Structure 1
Amino acid sequence: MERKTDRRFIQANKEAIIAVGLSLAYFIWWYATAYGYGDAPVSEYAYILGFPEWFFYSCIAGFVLFAILAALMVRFLFKEVSLAKSEESTGGDA
């Protein structure tokens, strides 16, 4: 027996994978910049706008960058779907 898959679930799964991917990319960015720039004695830190370089890149610049990426992701990759049951999602016997 062939099982029909509702297009809403396919779209929701796609959006979930993209969101998890962006979240993992943000964590990798944060980890790499925080521990990459912050792995030095405090006396050798460089400062940007009064913040240590590692903090600026990991917590401020990273947040702004990934907030913009999330907004673009929602704008261009996510699609609005109806939550109401349709004949197509119930197999046509509604």
Structure 2
Amino acid sequence: MKDQRFRIAHKEALIGIGLVLINFAIWFGFAYGLGAGDPAHYSYILGFPAWFFYSCIAGTGFMILLIWTVMKLFFKEVPFEEEER
């Protein structure tokens, strides 16, 4: 019988990969979507170009909240010691 901890760790690793892909999509989408034009036409938020603000500052805040939520909902405490049978 396979140890249940490996199944949990595998599921949590896949969730982690999904979070990385979401983070990259947000960063890439805003950085190259809003930042692709002529710099003379950029709009600014708090002194930062909009593409930088959304991809690096707001995106980081969003990812922190998303990771915190995922940790609370889907991750669980797993003991390191082997259970006696």
Structure 2-normalised TM-score? 0.96
Deviations 1:2-52 (A, max 9, x none): xx1111110000000001100111001100100000011111000011110
How far apart are the structure 2 equivalents of 1:9 and 1:72?
22
How many residues align? The count is: 85
CA RMSD of aligned residues (A): 0.7
Gaps of 5+ in 2: none
After superposing on structure 2, the runs of 4+ consecutive aligned residues of structure 1 that deviate more than 6 Å are none
Gaps of 5+ in 1: none
Q: Larger relative CO (CA 8 A, sep 6+): 1 or 2? A: 1
Which one has a bigger Cα radius of gyration? 1
Structure 1-normalised TM-score? 0.87
How far apart are the structure 1 equivalents of 2:2 and 2:63?
32
Task: Return the match for 1:5 from 2, 13, 28.
Answer: 2
Deviations 1:39-81 (A, max 9, x none): 1111100001111000000000000000110011111110101
Identity %: 46
1:43 aligns to what SS in structure 2?
Answer: helix
